[in-house]
Amino acid sequence: MKDLISLHDLTSEEVKGLLELGLKLKKEQKSGIEHHILKGKTLGMIFTKSSTRTRVSFEVGMTQLGGYPLFLSSNDIQLGRGESIYDTAKVLERMLDGIMIRTYAHQDVLDLAEYANIPVINALTDLLHPCQVLADLMTTYEHKGKLEGLKLAYIGDGNNMAHSLMYGCAKAGMDCAIATPENYQCDAEVVANAKDDFKKSGKELILTTDPVEAIKNADVVYTDTWVSMGQEAEKAERQKIFMPYQVNGELFKNAADDAVFMHCLPAYRGFEVTEEVIDGPQSVIFDEAENRLHAQKAVMATLMG
């Protein structure tokens, strides 16, 4: 494991190892045990897409690991002013021990990982969000005591979250159901890769336009915003199309009685999810958000330690 670009690239054992390390580091941190695994190491954090949870979790996580996080917005580096990814990668590898990037184009992350001789972490692209799903799997394990044999249902846009959840569920031995409207379905290449992963795992992948079919007996119910960064011009149209996919109390009744609700945040109450669900007793969104810290520490420690 040289980089973290996609969970599809990892083996089930590698995913399990990251989750176990994340849980171990969380337990140590809660007990006041310091773990300066990355003492003297520096992580460059490139942001062309802003984020609350990604920035805080990587900065705090790197500090708790004894290293130094360096925030680099598109206004701070020449990559945002036309310098090539190749030149940027070659400069940064001389000064840093790892690079985290949160950006729009997935190809930029692939190119950065190809050219840089240091670990590269995909903190989000328009195609994938692997770091979030590691936190989601950690949270599921904490609340369910297992991952193998559970079912996760994702209701909403066939976006980067849906893509990485498919990959993550397959690697964790979970069934996965994705419900999206027509014309807002998952990327065809990602679906093909995910089907291969599910075939190897012996688990089921359901792709449907029916949210009731997807959520039936689900142990984990997941949704995401209908309007991601860069889609603001489509807001009114998307809200109209996606309203039948709102996760509300009536839809949630079709899940398992002890199902938990997850959302990667930020959430827009009254749109993709109602207050009765997201603020209800089965919601674990803040446990999930906290676990971004611990999952990302596991990734950094594994790649840079």
Positions marked active-site: 102, 129, 132, 224, 264, 292
Cis peptide before 266 (omega within 30 of 0): yes
Give the residue ranges of the annotated binding site for carbamoyl phosphate: 51-54, 78, 102, 129-132, 264-265, 292
**Comparing C-alpha atoms, which of 224, 214, 243, 242 is closest to residue 152?**
214
Helix axes 160-172, 130-144, angle to 10 degrees: 50
Tokens of 55: 């920035």
Q: Which residues are annotated as part of the binding site for L-ornithine?
A: 160, 224, 228-229
In degrees and rounded to multiples of 5, residue 237 shows phi and psi of -65, -45
Beginning with the edge strand found earlier in the chain, give each strand of the sheet holding 260-263 in spatial order: 205-208, 175-179, 151-155, 220-223, 260-263
67 vs 83: CA distance, rounded Å: 27
CB 245 within 8 A of CB 212: no
Q: Are 277 and 252 in contact (CB under 8 A)?
A: yes
Of 188, 174, 127, residue with least CA distance to 12: 174
Give me the half-sphere count of Cα atoms (radius 13 Å) on the Cβ side of residue 116. Answer: 28
Q: Which residues carry a binding-site annotation?
A: 51-54, 78, 102, 129-132, 160, 224, 228-229, 264-265, 292
Given phi > 0 = left and psi -120 to 50 = alpha, else beta, which region is 220?
beta
What is the spatial distance between Cα 153 and Cα 215, in angstroms, rounded to a whole number? 5
For 208, counting Cβ atoms within 10 Å of its Cβ (0-12 exposed, 13-18 middle, 19+ buried), the class is middle
